């Protein structure tokens, strides 16, 4: 008897949490979502990301963003290019666009599931 293949999950690709690893917090997931959205608009430096996040009420500093940026780089969701005079400039990749689209579709479902309002 042959088993049918499991359906492919279309949601964001979350890295499974290994024993001893911390689970991502809502804060880090929101930061990840915002970072993907900001780098989708245009390439941006870490300082630019800090400023944009603060405009959204997310108080992060460069040091607290590094693990999130590293995670996005390892997931190949963003790239970093060293630009003279600016430092690292982050850009979104096709994989990052897919992840962002998946996050946004989940948020859309949640919003619609709540009657479209608050």
Structure confidence by residue, pLDDT tens digits, 79-114: 999 999 999 999 999 999 999 999 898 888 888 876
| Ranges 58-62, 73-77, 103-107, 113-117: which has the least confidence | 113-117
> Considering the domain boundaries, does residue 5 fall inside one?
no
> Considering the domain boundaries, does residue 55 fall inside one?
yes
> Considering the domain boundaries, does residue 19 fall inside one?
no
> Considering the domain boundaries, does residue 14 fall inside one?
no
* pLDDT score of 42 more than 90: yes
Q: Cα 63 to chain center, whole Å?
A: 17
SS3 111: helix
> Considering the domain boundaries, does residue 21 fall inside one?
no
Domain that includes residue 72, residue range: 26-113
Q: What is the CATH number of the domain that holds 77?
A: 1.10.10.10
> Considering the domain boundaries, does residue 77 fall inside one?
yes
Q: Give the number of domains in the chain.
A: 1
> Considering the domain boundaries, does residue 10 fall inside one?
no
Residue 15, token pair as written in the block: 């890295």
Q: What integer pLDDT is reported at residue 31 of this predicted model?
A: 87
> Considering the domain boundaries, does residue 4 fall inside one?
no
Cα 44 to Cα 87: distance, rounded to the nearest angstrom? 10
């Amino acid at each position: 008897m042959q088993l049918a293949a499991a359906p492919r999950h279309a949601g964001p690709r979350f890295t499974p949490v290994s024993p001893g690893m911390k689970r991502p917090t809502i804060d880090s997931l929101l930061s990840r979502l915002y970072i993907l959205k900001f780098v989708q608009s245009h390439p941006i430096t870490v300082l630019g990301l800090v400023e944009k996040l603060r405009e959204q009420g997310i108080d992060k500093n460069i040091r607290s963003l590094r693990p999130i940026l590293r995670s996005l780089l390892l997931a190949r969701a963003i790239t970093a290019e060293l630009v003279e005079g600016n430092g690292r400039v982050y850009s979104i990749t096709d994989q990052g666009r897919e992840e962002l689209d998946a996050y946004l579709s989940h948020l859309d479902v949640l919003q619609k599931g709540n009657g479209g309002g608050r």
